[in-house]
Amino acid sequence: MKHKLWMAAALSLGMASAFAQTGAVDVTDAWARGTVPGQSATGVFMTLQAHGPTTLVGVSTPAAANAEVHEMKLEGTLMKMRALPHGLPLPANEPVQLKPGGYHIMLTDLRAPLKKGDSVALTLRFESADHKKTEQQVQVPVRDLTAGAPGGGMAGMAHGTHGSK
């Protein structure tokens, strides 16, 4: 009966990062893309799985003046992104991926460059279908600038070959 569901939950917990949450929404595989000095914006990615119908309505972080939930869409040959005016809907028990080229959390006006190995404190604000508002804190590790780039960041990404100073 409930056995199958339990198995699925156990499986996804097994794959969760060290930053998994036990709140209303499971947050797994969270990471932020590192930046170079002078770069003022970056993306944060994660997998969200709500236990009941929920919407990610907002994000804030001390690392940036502004954080928004964005979607990225191919329009013709142009990748365009825009803020989701009504937030990101999270169906019950269905993982929703925020990933490069798709949904993401956009941090703008970063207070400092994000270096690999840093972590970013995020506050995620959720609203359930019955209008209950909750907040969840997550610590998001910063990955390399080229992480998750098209081609897995392996090919044709020659920037930074001099390494860090």
Q: Which residue ranges make up the site for Cu ion (CB under 5 A)?
A: 70, 81, 106
In the complex, least distance from residue 105 CB atom to Cu ion, rounded to whole angstroms? 8
- In a 13 Å sphere around the CA of 84, the CA atoms on its Cβ side amount to 20
Nearest to 25 by CA among 85, 91, 119: 91
Q: Is the dihedral of CA 100, 67, 74, 145 positive or negative?
A: negative
In the complex, least distance from residue 52 CB atom to Cu ion, rounded to whole angstroms? 27
In the complex, least distance from residue 120 CB atom to Cu ion, rounded to whole angstroms? 15
11: DSSP letter: H
d(C-alpha 114, C-alpha 119), whole Å: 8
Residues 6+ apart with CB under 8 A from 22: none
In the complex, least distance from residue 63 CB atom to Cu ion, rounded to whole angstroms? 15
> Which CB sits closer to Cu ion, 51 or 71?
71
> Which CB sits closer to Cu ion, 26 or 45?
45
> Which CB sits closer to Cu ion, 101 or 141?
101
> Which CB sits closer to Cu ion, 27 or 107?
107
- Give the rounded distance of the alpha carbon of 54 from its chain centre: 16
To which residue do tokens 């590790």 refer?
A: 141
In the complex, least distance from residue 43 CB atom to Cu ion, rounded to whole angstroms? 6
> Which CB sits closer to Cu ion, 93 or 97?
97
